[in-house]
Amino acid sequence: MPVSYLRESLADGIAYTSIVDEKFKTNLVRIRLITPLRMETVSDHAVALGVIGVSNREYPDLSALTARLNELYGANIGVDISKRGDLQILSISVSAIDNRFALEGEDITGEAVRILLSCVFDPNLEGDAFGENVFRSRKKELLDAVEAEINNKRGYALLQAQKTIFSGEPAAYSSYGTRETAEAVTAKSAYAAYRKLLETAMIEIYTVSAAPMPRVKEQIRTAFSAIHRHPEQISCTAASPLKPEPRTVIDPMDVGQSKLVMAFKTDGEDLHLIRLLNAMFGGTVSSKLFMNVRERLSLCYYCASTYVDSKRTMLVDSGVELANYETARDEILHQLDALRSGDFTDEEMDSALLSLVNSIRGTGDTPSGWIGWSFYLYCNGLDRTPQQEADYYRGMFDDRQKLRQRLMDAAKSLKLDTIYLMQQREGV
């Protein structure tokens, strides 16, 4: 039986997507709140999501909630915080075994969804604030997450670089906020921000199951109908303006290995073409950056590129010895020039295509994979299956000469914006 996919509107700014794939034995329901990323609310939102992910009025702490979920054959509630360009994305999900596996015919999924909706709409409160005990533990968890970002030097270098790359734009911020914004969160401010979030966020709701779940849809529709909605309009793509001149930032830090981040911005709007170019440049193990900068010349420990389509920005990040910094920087630029001049083979193009197609083939391996695919379609205004997406890429190769020129033009559209170096201190 083919996978079925249906996206429909439940209310103002609330969309419901049902994905039916009979191979799964568990059902997944995910509520995704999408809101502009603002420093004054980013940490309040993060703490609030943590609180509702571990408690509600009926089960006021993680221990009580977990005990009840365990009775439902090990159902699980989880949360996730991320960003897409200028947007903060807050997700809360529940997974549960499909009812056909319940030993006594119980409605496992229905009960799991009821508990999820209780977490969202009937949280553990003390007056007009979140319950203090749960709040304190989630605030500490947020502070730990901020600290973990600092300790992961590769990721931290990217975060620090983005402050310059996206200066003056929300994308410059972390999805968690800073230590200062996290410290400032109170149980009252977090709840107030959360109530406003339910009213103003764009909401995407997903279910992935082996069979349609109309009762679950009605549970969700009924729960959200009680909220007075006035959603704030958002844009999934906000191209970052190119700086008049490339900016170089040197950031000395006690690290054992320097981290080099380079940002290139494009005015190109062909998402698929830029993704193919990225695979050839530094997005795969057969790319120019990997094969030349890392392998052939041994100038770095890692060197890869990523295309941030929400900002139309390509990031290259690498780990280098300080003595190799300038040589590595220049070689990265040289490899981009090779793409601009057409110095690449058909085999390199084929390898990039194969990598993209293989990645697309894995879309439906997990329920979360299907949700990720649906969100990709939503953000990019597309309506196609993974097979159709793979076929689209293959169709680009029908005229290789034309494709070669298009790739060269796309490479020429990439303009250097920022060079950031997290510089290891002497003697470290």
Residue 297 has pLDDT above 60, yes or no: yes
Residue 169 has pLDDT above 90, yes or no: yes
Phi, psi values for residue 126, rounded to 5° = -130, 95
Query: Which superfamily does CATH assign the domain made up of 247-424 to?
Result: Metalloenzyme, LuxS/M16 peptidase-like (3.30.830.10)
Contacts of 355 (CB under 8 A, 6+ apart): 279, 283, 284, 286
Contacts of 9 (CB under 8 A, 6+ apart): 15, 16
Shared fold status for 4-225 and 247-424: yes
pLDDT tens digits for range 109-139: 999 999 999 999 999 999 999 999 999 999 9
pLDDT tens digits for range 302-326: 999 999 999 999 999 999 999 999 9
Give which of 54, 10, 42, 33 is closest to 197, Cα–Cα.
33
Task: Let me know if 199 is exposed, middle or buried by CB neighbors in 10 A (0-12, 13-18, 19+).
Answer: middle
Tell me the pLDDT band of 42, cut-offs 50, 70 and 90: very high
Angstrom CA distances, 93 to 100, 114, 422, stand at 21, 12, 36
Give which of 124, 143, 154, 139 is closest to 61, Cα–Cα.
124
* Model pLDDT, residue 425: 77
Q: How far apart are CA 262 and CA 94, in angstroms?
A: 39
* Model pLDDT, residue 2: 83
Residue 89 has pLDDT above 80, yes or no: yes
* Model pLDDT, residue 337: 98
Tell me the pLDDT band of 427, cut-offs 50, 70 and 90: low
Mean pLDDT of 98-106: 92
Q: How far apart are CA 276 and CA 411, in angstroms?
A: 11
Give which of 420, 242, 160 is closest to 316, Cα–Cα.
420
* Model pLDDT, residue 91: 98
Looking at 108-257, which runs of residues are DSSP E strands? 125-126, 129-130, 202-209, 247-253
DSSP string, 259-300: EEEEEEE-----HHHHHHHHIIIIISTTSHIIIIIIIIS---
CATH no. for 4-225: 3.30.830.10
pLDDT above 90 covers a percentage of the chain that reads 96
Residue 72 has pLDDT above 60, yes or no: yes
Residue written as token pair 């920087």: 329
Residue written as token pair 């020129």: 405
Mean pLDDT of 207-223: 97
* Model pLDDT, residue 426: 65
Residue written as token pair 């329920």: 367
Q: How far apart are CA 412 and CA 236, in angstroms?
A: 25
Residue 205 has pLDDT above 80, yes or no: yes
In terms of phi and psi (left: phi > 0; alpha: psi -120 to 50; beta: otherwise), the region of 158 is alpha
Instruction: Compute CA 87 distance to the chain's CA centroid, rounded to the nearest angstrom.
Output: 10
Mean pLDDT of 43-51: 98
* Model pLDDT, residue 1: 65
pLDDT tens digits for range 262-271: 999 999 999 9
Average pLDDT of every residue of the chain? 96
The four Cα atoms 22, 28, 34, 39 give a dihedral, to 10 degrees, of -140
Give which of 204, 199, 149 is closest to 176, Cα–Cα.
149
Residue 428 has pLDDT above 80, yes or no: no
Residue written as token pair 């990721």: 155
What tokens were used for 315?
């990031």
Q: How far apart are CA 375 and CA 364, in angstroms?
A: 13
* Residue 187, helix vs strand vs coil: helix
Question: Domain-by-domain residue ranges, the chain?
Answer: 4-225, 247-424
Q: How far apart are CA 56 and CA 64, in angstroms?
A: 10
Give the neighbor-by-neighbor strand order of the sheet with 87-97. Answer: 4-11, 14-20, 202-209, 26-36, 87-97, 76-84
pLDDT tens digits for range 186-198: 999 999 999 999 9
